Amino acid sequence: MTIKDIAAKCGVSVSTVSRVLNNQPYVKQDVRDKVMKVIEEEHFVPHEGAVSLAKTQEDSFGVIIRGINNPFFSEMVTVILQRGHEMGYSTYLHQIRSCDDEIGEAASLAKSRKLKGVILLGGNFDRTEEEIRQIDVPIVCCTFTNKFGVVPKEIFSSVSIDDEAAAYKAVSYLISEGHKKIAVVLPSVDDKSISELRYMGYCKAMKEAGLAVTDDLIIATGDYSMEEAYAGVKAALERKAKFTAIFGISDLIALASMKALSDAGYKIPGKCSVIGIDGIDMTSYFIPTLTTLVQPRDVIAQRAVEILIGAIEEPGEGTHEIVEAQLRIGESVKKI
């Protein structure tokens, strides 16, 4: 009788038995009791090294990252690795390019690497049920909230901010500081993704305040890069677009917008205010410090791991959690 036989007899994974033997956390009491009962019934004594053997054959989950150069994701990865390690899992990091199909990659990796589950950072929203079902292990998305609703909520889990609400909060803050002409810098107004959701929040705040969203206030740049955001704001200033504040829908976009303003001779926030969303660490070192809506990165990363491991060890319906983004006041917004 080996630790594998015990696992098979209990209908749980080897790592669960290992966790029980090692008296580690994250095994539900009823599962723990069942395992201990079988161990006692079978008079099972782990042979020398069985415990550590089970440990070296530890379960892995994957993290698929679209754009490791996004500091928000790399900051999340640090916390995910730590939490995974604490919970007895090793982690397989996989970066994909923005043109890659993250669902296909995740599905093939899960098979080839025998991953027990997958966390997706970044990625598209226009997915079908059939596509998601290619991945035959539990999935947790940290940016995909299925807001446009084509995928059944049961077949994946998510933990993220409410992008529309965070954008609404950012723009409402600018309005409360007296701004009326507020430009938005974003990849696209209709990408069925984060950009569209944050644009919806912008529109909602403007509309509620009775402010017009005119075409010259919308600076759509095609992608999430700093290069394009910089070029977009530069072009808007050259065509004399009139605004007193910019809402960049990500911190990187907001930072690039600040640089374009500065290079055109605009003082920030003297002549133009700027606000972002994400709360990446680097924003605190910019001159001026960026005012931004901070995603509770550590909470998202930790919960993503906990939800994933929960789903691996006790499969069930999807879990969906929303966490709140908090305003961090820097130096880039001025009352007018």
Under the binding rule (CB under 8 A), the answer on residue 151 touching its own copies is: no
Which range binds its own copies by CB under 8 A, 132-140, 198-206, 251-259, 302-310? Answer: 251-259
CB of 89 to its own copies, least distance (A): 14
Cα 117 to Cα 111, 159, 201, 228, 241: the distances in Å are 10, 15, 32, 35, 48
Does position 287 bind its own copies by CB under 8 A? yes
Which are the contacts of 58, defined by CB distance < 8 A and separation ≥ 6? 15, 18, 88, 89, 90
3-class SS of residue 59? coil
How many residues in the shown chain lie near its own copies by CB under 8 A? 31
Residue 94 Cβ vs its own copies, minimum distance, rounded to whole Å? 7
Quick one: 120 or 256, whose CB is closer to its own copies? Answer: 256
Rounded Cα–Cα distance for residues 119 and 233 (Å) = 34
Q: Is there binding between residue 77 and its own copies (CB under 8 A)?
A: yes
- List Cβ neighbours of 60 (8 Å cut-off, separation of 6 or more): 89, 90, 91, 92, 113, 114, 115, 116
Between CA 234 and CA 244 the distance in angstroms is 15
Q: Which of 159, 233, 258, 293 binds its own copies (CB under 8 A)?
A: 258
Instruction: Kindly state whether residue 285 participates in binding its own copies, applying the rule CB under 8 A.
Output: yes
Is 230 near its own copies (CB under 8 A)? yes
Q: Is 235 in the site for its own copies (CB under 8 A)?
A: no
Instruction: Tell me: does residue 134 bind its own copies (CB under 8 A).
Output: no
The burial of 54, by beta-carbon neighbours within 10 Å (0-12 exposed, 13-18 middle, 19 or more buried), is given as buried
Residues 39-68, one symbol each (x = binds its own copies by CB under 8 A, - = not), give -----------------x-----------x
Residue 256 is a binding residue for its own copies (CB under 8 A): yes
The strand pairing partners of 42, in sequence order, are none
